[in-house]
Amino acid sequence: MSPLWRQLLRIGFAAGRGAPGSRIRFAGLLLASAVLTTTMLAGLVVVATYDGRAQRDAARGPVPAGDGVRAPAAWLNINRDAVGTVPHSVIHVEPLAESIDPPPGLPRWPERGEVFLSPALLEAGSSERILHRYGTFAGLIGDAGLSSPGERLAYVRPDVDGGYEGWRGIKRFGGVDTMLIGDSRDVAPIGQFLTMLAATLGVAAAVLLVVAVRSGSAARDRRTELLAALGASWRHRALLNVGEGVVPALAGAVIGLTPYLVTLITDVRLPGPGFVIDSDDTRAWLWAVPPTVAGSVVFVLLAIVTLHRVDAAGRSGRPRTFAGRVPRWRLVAGVAGLVGVVITPYLPRMFGFLAYLGGTAVLWAALPSASAIVIQRFGGAMAARAAKAGYVAMLIAGRWTAARPGIVVRLTGVIVIGIGIVVQAQVWTSRLGDSSERALEFQRSLQDSVLVVSSPYLDRESIESFAGDLPVGSALLGVVAPEDETQPRRLWGSCAALDGLVADCAGNRVSLRDGDIRAQTLFGQFRRSGDDVHVRLTNERSAWPRVQELVVVSAVGTGGLAAHVNEEAHRAFAMAELNRPGDSWAQGSNRLTTISAWVVFLVTIVLSVLLTAMGFSSAAEFLTFTAALAPLTVLTERRRFVFGVAAWNLVVPCLIAVSAGVAIAAWQGNFFVAMSRSGELSWSLLVNVAVTAAVFSIAIGVAGGANAVRGAARWRPVAD
Amino acid sequence: MVSRVHGRSVLRIEKLRLAVSGRHLFGTLSCELRSGESAVLCGPSGTGKTTLLNCIMGLTTPDDGAIYVAGENILEMPKRRLAEHRRTYIGMVFQFGELLPELSPVENVAIAALLAGQPRRKAYQDAEALLGDLGVPVSGTPTGLLSGGERQRTAVARALITEPVLLLADEPTGALDREARESVADLLFTLPRVRDCALLVVTHDEAVAGRADRRFDLRGGDLAETRA
């Protein structure tokens, strides 16, 4: 490195420590670098997790024996069960060949009637006595057998004699052409996940970086101009800027690395989605951490260098005003975006969706420019009003706002965008949760009053045993499904069991259509192509033909039976499955609920980052405040007017932005609901967000005023 | 202490002592200024000229001594009273004007009056009249677009609008060209007689210093009056 380079770096380093507002910028760059590094490493965690899962899936997946194979190495049968409404897989196995190894994660093959459970299933199902549901607990499934440490999974070797009809023959566990089992069947593609990460955390990190780099930019811009005038090349200026930013960039990267380091040491459960990051996966990708962190630092330094360009238009020594600086085309683009959103319903479906997305993006992107014009005019009007009335604080604030709308735009932009993101996320998640909410509502009214038990092994003896263990007040019905699918299904049971379900229990013409919610549910569950479900009345179970399913009926609204009946069903019948009508509905939408949890999780982080950016942007403004008002404050010793300036310059525009943000977000949210005909806008959330944003705005004003008063108390004329 | 101009005592400094970072800035410094009288404070850089102005304004507290402004010792005043006293009796012109560039010159001057509690109409009228007297354009031109001399004259107008008995100026011509310097200096040194106030100017400029009634040199922590 030549002496000049070293010298420039050193000057930059010194400037970073000595310049006004250097502490704020240092902290801003430090945080931006930390957030960016964490975001990039979060991407690495995603890659590592998907890679680890793919490897484990390949190692644990059963390999089908194929139809032509007469003697498979093991039988396999997979059921779905649930704890609450969260589904999990129950993998039934029966080894046939001596040579076949147990599935990865199991120390040995389970004995007949034994079960291995994953730690997450054991923990989540403790209230439902999951330990006793599938048989004798033999141990925990090790990490090697799980797609992630949070996976709920059970390996069961049921106690059945012969009769493996419907089971699938497999060659082994692991290898090529394996089947996906467990949670791996419901995983979103990695590209989708990384895109979501980039669109949320990535954008927030970029906003924070730009705000931090430009904080207190006036002094640095002047220095850049000076160096350019002295003949410094782009490289020289870059070196100086790098020297100024390299320490916070490096320190921030070290801080941003910390979460990844934690995932190296232990498994980490993410709050919200509840996903558990496997430390083995992150350790396997440790080699990629240094280049990722280095990439993050380089990105920060590039941003520092490229955001300090020499103004080609040249500058004078006079203060710069921004009147008329906002290009008109941005306003036109904003209007075009608005038109795109508004005409969405009149376009074909695919075009409509694209117009909505594109229009929304352009609308939000043009918002700062549009608000700059509005804020500029607002500032002018404020100053004119203040000049007439003789309000000093309002006059100064109005003139400042008109001369430098960008500062207020940054603040208000973050507010409006933040409110918009919260409301959009709420509307999306309400839309995703709509079907599961309806399913849950149905289940809440029905509770456990209708439970359907199925198993390939429903023999007369087991049914008697099961019936004997049912809770008091519950009765049993049998379901016969003729193989000829044109024939209606038949329910067998006694009038005592149907008591209350149907209005009239006599003869053989009992109709479920006219019964209560349980009868309606049974009708919906078992009807075939419009036919009624036929009911056969008998008081003797011995008169039942061979049944395919059983129904446990209890009084309407009876709760807390499912876990008990599930356990008894498994005790009586091998490979039993218990369903509550609506369960598949609720469980199916559970995946959507998980997506909602991810959206909420990411939006929470994004908002935190945006608020931090707003805080830094404001803090940088306080310095301008302090420097400009200090002499006047010292001369007049009127401190209250400083708070007045802060209120008019920062709080009032922010409060107006809150109102505008709420109005825009409410309109767009309602528009989205009307367009998609699903979801709903939560007004209570909107009010909460508005109140929070308003409190934050006032806090910014108070902090700004207090800072300026403190600064004025320290200020002294220094020329000598 | 000798005074050629006979007016009431506006500023009296008695045995002022101040040490900064272990260095004695002022030993036992004394002087007096009367209304209608102008004085310059000269001396090499770092001798404490601006610090002395800060002491007179009550922004820096000396270790010992007394500073009487308009007959009252400001060092004995509680904070609030000191602020009020400063607002009423002292005007200050800073080296770089310290104006708000986004405001018009009239507004920059008027806000000092408004903050001092004057009614709006009077504040604006006085500001316009003062600026007119001092030759500053009173149209809507932002202060940031004025010339250096005009900006400094606006700063003088702001200092004068509350009709102070003591006007302090810290290198008021330091950043001006020759022509502007002459015009600002002419203006400043006519003020004591026209407005019956006392003027104390810190300057390095001999041409400016030559216009004053009295000259103090700050050397070795003490004031030496070198010209009567």
Q: Using one digit for the tens of pLDDT, what is the confidence trace for A364-387? A: 777 767 777 888 888 889 999 988
B102 close contact with A: CB closer than 8 A? yes
Record: contact B87-A631, CB cut-off 8 A? no
Q: What is the pLDDT of residues A64-80, one digit of tens each?
A: 887 766 778 888 888 88
Residue in chain B nearest A631 by alpha carbon? B98
For residue A480, the cross-strand partners are: A490
Task: Reduce the DSSP state of residue A578 to 3 states and report it.
Answer: strand
Does the distance separating the beta carbons of A319 and B101 come in below 8 Å?
yes
The answer to whether residues B28 and B66 touch, using CB atoms and an 8 Å cutoff, is: no
pLDDT at residue A324 greater than cutoff 50:
no
Residues 104-143 of chain B with CB under 8 A from chain A are: 107, 111-112, 114-116, 119-121, 123-124, 142
Residue B212 one-letter amino acid: A
**B13 at A interface, C-beta within 8 A:** no
> Which one is predicted more confidently, B60 or A632?
B60
Residues 6+ apart with CB under 8 A from A423: A665, A666, A668, A669, A681, A685, A686, A689
Q: Do A395 and B45 touch (CB under 8 A)?
A: no
How many residues are present in chain A?
720
Cβ-Cβ contacts under 8 Å, A389 against chain B: 120
User: What is the pLDDT, as a whole number, of residue A229?
Assistant: 66
Contacts with A637 from chain B: Cβ below 8 Å: 83-84, 86-87
Which of chain A's residues have a Cβ under 8 Å away from the Cβ of B59? Answer: 634, 716
User: Between chains, do B112 and A399 touch, taking CB under 8 Å as contact?
Assistant: no
* Amino acid A258: pLDDT: 93
Tell me the pLDDT band of A683, cut-offs 50, 70 and 90: confident
pLDDT band at B227 (very low <50, low <70, confident <90, very high): low
Q: What is the pLDDT of residue A652?
A: 87
What pLDDT is recorded for position A287? 95
Handedness of CA A490, A494, A497, A499 (dihedral sign): positive
Residue A679 has pLDDT above 80, yes or no: no
Task: Name residue A210's amino acid.
Answer: V
| A414: helix, strand or coil | helix
Confidence of residue A720 (pLDDT cuts 50, 70, 90): very low
Cβ neighbours of A400 in B, within 8 Å: 102
Nearest CA of chain A to the CA of B25: how many Å?
13
CB contact under 8 A, A390 and B144: no
CB contact under 8 A, A716 and B60: yes
Contact list in A for residue B125 (CB cut-off 8 A) is: none
With 70 as the cut, is the pLDDT of residue B69 above it?
yes
Mean pLDDT, residues B157-179:
83
Q: Which of these, B131, B160, B168, lies nearest to B146 by C-alpha position?
A: B131
Under DSSP, is residue B91 helix (H, G, I), strand (E, B) or coil?
strand
Q: Which residues of B touch A632 (CB under 8 A)?
A: 98, 100, 111-112, 115
Binary contact (A632, B83; C-beta < 8 A):
no
* Highest mean predicted confidence (pLDDT) among A67-81, A181-195, B18-32, B195-209: B195-209
Domain ranges of chain A: 1-59+187-312, 62-179, 321-435+582-720, 449-579
Of A507-511, B50-54, B223-227, the poorest mean pLDDT is in A507-511
Answer whether residue A315 shows pLDDT above 50.
no
In terms of residues, how long is chain B? 228
- Cross-chain CB nearest to B107 (options A321, A387, A402): A387
In B, which residues are within 8 Å of A321 by CB distance?
102, 142, 144
In tens, the pLDDT along A156-178 reads 998 876 678 788 888 888 888 88
pLDDT of residue A711: 77
**Looking at residues A350-355, what average pLDDT do you find?**
74
Whether A390 and chain B come into contact, CB under 8 Å, resolves to yes
The verdict on A637 touching B (C-beta cutoff 8 Å) is yes
Indicate the pLDDT class of residue A219, thresholds 50, 70 and 90: low
**How far is it, in rounded angstroms, from Cα A47 to Cα A570?**
39
Question: Which pLDDT belongs to residue A301?
Answer: 92
Nearest to B144 among A318, A636, A719 (CB): A318
pLDDT in tens, A624-633: 667 777 777 7
Q: Which of A319, A395, A717 sits opposite B170 (nearest CB)?
A: A717
**Per-residue confidence (pLDDT) for residue A318, from 0 to 100:** 35
Chain A residues in contact with B94 (beta carbon < 8 A): 631, 717, 719
Mean pLDDT in residue range A259-267: 92
Q: To the nearest whole number, what is the mean pLDDT of chain A? A: 81
ipTM of this predicted structure: 0.73
Q: Which of residues 294-323 of A touch B (CB under 8 A)?
A: 318-319, 321
Give the chain A residue nearest B164 (alpha carbons): A635
Number of other residues whose CB lies within 10 A of the CB of residue A186: 12
Residues of B in contact with A634 (CB under 8 A): 57, 59
Contact A719 B170 (CB under 8 A): yes
Helix, strand or coil, per DSSP, at residue B206: helix
Substitution target in B100, B118, B126 with the highest count of A β-carbons within 10 Å is B100
Report chain B residues whose CB lies below 8 A from the CB of A399: 100, 102-103, 107
Q: Which residue of B has its CA nearest to A379?
A: B102
Residues of B in contact with A644 (CB under 8 A): none
Measured between alpha carbons, how far is residue A668 from residues A196, A422, A601, A674, A696 in Å? 21, 12, 22, 10, 23
Residues B59, A403: C-beta atoms closer than 8 Å: no
Chain A's closest residue to B41, CA to CA, is A720
Per-residue pLDDT at B4: 38
Per-residue DSSP letter, A288: G
Phi-psi region of B22 (alpha: psi -120 to 50; beta: other; left: phi over 0): left
Measured CA to CA, the distance from residue A621 to residue A405 in angstroms comes to 12
More confidently predicted of A567 and A433: A567
A254, burial (CB in 10 Å: exposed 0-12, middle 13-18, buried 19+): middle
Residues of A in contact with B92 (CB under 8 A): 635, 717
Residue B160, min C-alpha distance to chain A (Å): 12
pLDDT at A311 over 50: no
Kindly state the average pLDDT of the residues A392-404. Answer: 85
Q: Which of A213, A267, A299, A242 is nearest to A40 (CA)?
A: A299
Are A719 and B54 in contact (CB < 8 Å)? Answer: no
pLDDT tens sequence across B89-113: 888 888 777 788 778 888 888 888 8
Query: Chain B contacts of A402, Cβ < 8 Å?
Result: 102
Residues B112-136 have pLDDT tens digits of 888 778 888 888 898 998 888 778 8
* CA atoms of A602 and A35, how far apart (whole Å): 13
* Confidence at A22, pLDDT banded by 50, 70, 90: low
pLDDT score at B1: 34
- Cβ of B115 within 8 Å of Cβ of A720? The answer is no
Lowest mean pLDDT among A55-59, A342-346, A539-543, A659-663: A342-346
Q: Which residues of A12-34 are buried (b: 16+ CB within 10 A; e: fewer)?
A: bbebbeebebbebbbbbbbbbbb
Query: Helix H segments across A447-582?
Result: 460-468, 517-526, 562-572
Cβ of A640 under 8 Å from any chain B Cβ? Answer: no
Query: How close does chain B come to A393, measured CA to CA in Å?
Result: 9
Does A260 or A202 have the greater pLDDT score? Answer: A260
pLDDT per position as a tens digit, B6-31: 578 899 998 888 887 777 788 888 88
Which residues numbered 60-99 in B keep a CB inside 8 Å of some CB on A? 60, 83-84, 86-87, 92, 94-96, 98
Question: What residue has token string 């390949």?
Answer: A58
Q: How far is the alpha carbon of B36 from chain A, nearest alpha carbon, in Å?
A: 22
Strand partners, B16: B29
Does residue A151 surpass a pLDDT of 60? yes
Which pLDDT score is estimated for A294? Answer: 95
What count of CB pairs under 8 Å joins A to B? 86
User: How buried is residue B11: exposed, middle or buried, by Cβ count under 10 Å (0-12/13-18/19+)?
Assistant: buried
Rounded CA separation A585/A520 (Å):
17
Judging contacts by C-beta atoms under 8 Å, the chain B residues touching residue A395 are 103, 107, 111
Q: Which residues of A352-378 are buried (b: 16+ CB within 10 A; e: fewer)?
A: eeebbeebbebbbebbbbbbbbbbbeb
pLDDT in tens, A562-616: 888 888 888 888 888 888 886 766 665 566 667 777 777 777 788 788 777 777 7
Q: Amino acid letter at A211?
A: V
Give the pLDDT band (50/70/90) at residue A47.
Answer: very high
Asked if B115 lies within 8 A of A390 by C-beta distance, the reply is no
All structural domains of chain B: 9-227 (3.40.50.300)
Question: Could you tell me what percent of chain B has a pLDDT over 90?
Answer: 9
CB distance A550 to A522 below 8 Å: no
| A631–chain B nearest CA distance, Å | 6
How many angstroms separate the CA atoms of A337 and A328, rounded?
Answer: 14
N- to C-terminal Cα distance for chain A? 40
10 Å Cβ neighbour count for B3?
15
**CB spacing of A390 vs B112 below 8 angstroms:** no
